[in-house]
Amino acid sequence: MEGTHKDKGKGVMEAENSGTELTALVVDDDKFCRMIHQTLLNRVGVKNQAVENGKEAVEIHNGGQSFDLILMDRDMPVMDGIEATKILRSMEIRSTIIGVSSCPIAQIREFMEAGLDDYYMKPLTVDMLVAILDRFNS
């Protein structure tokens, strides 16, 4: 990644003040990780909500909601992140979907091939989130 942390922070501020409010969906069965990711999103001004599994993520989109960003865990009960990502992509959901998990490197490829835009180890940090949000400023 090029640029300094200061530059990245500026990008987030531009996103906050651009008049377009970014929205995010956090999909994770781990309550602690959901809380961390929602807190980080709130801190940088991204409106967000959370669900506990991939099935709920698919259902929320079937209900007509859409998000700019989806933070998707891989291993969840009911429906995992791989299946949920494949279904969302087959529904022509064009949100940026970021895999956020602690799976072994060997399993990352399968997750990416499901339709992810990128992958980060969880939990996210402020710097990781800023790097993700910078995509919306380009």
Q: Rounded CA gap, 87 and 46, in Å?
A: 25
Do residues 48 and 27 touch, judged by C-beta distance below 8 A? no
Give residue-wise pLDDT tens across range 4-14.
333 334 344 33
The long-range contacts involving 102-109, CB below 8 angstroms and separated by at least 24 positions, are 103/74, 103/75, 107/74
**Which pLDDT value is given to residue 20?**
59
**Which pLDDT value is given to residue 59?**
98
Q: Rounded CA gap, 107 and 81, in Å?
A: 12
| pLDDT of 137 above 90 | no
Query: H/E element holding 61?
Result: helix 54-62
Do residues 90 and 64 touch, judged by C-beta distance below 8 A? no
DSSP category for residue 76: -
DSSP category for residue 122: S
Burial of residue 18, with CB atoms counted within 10 A of its CB: 0-12 exposed, 13-18 middle, 19 or more buried: exposed
Give residue-wise pLDDT tens across range 14-62.
344 444 589 999 999 999 999 999 999 999 999 999 999 999 999 999 9
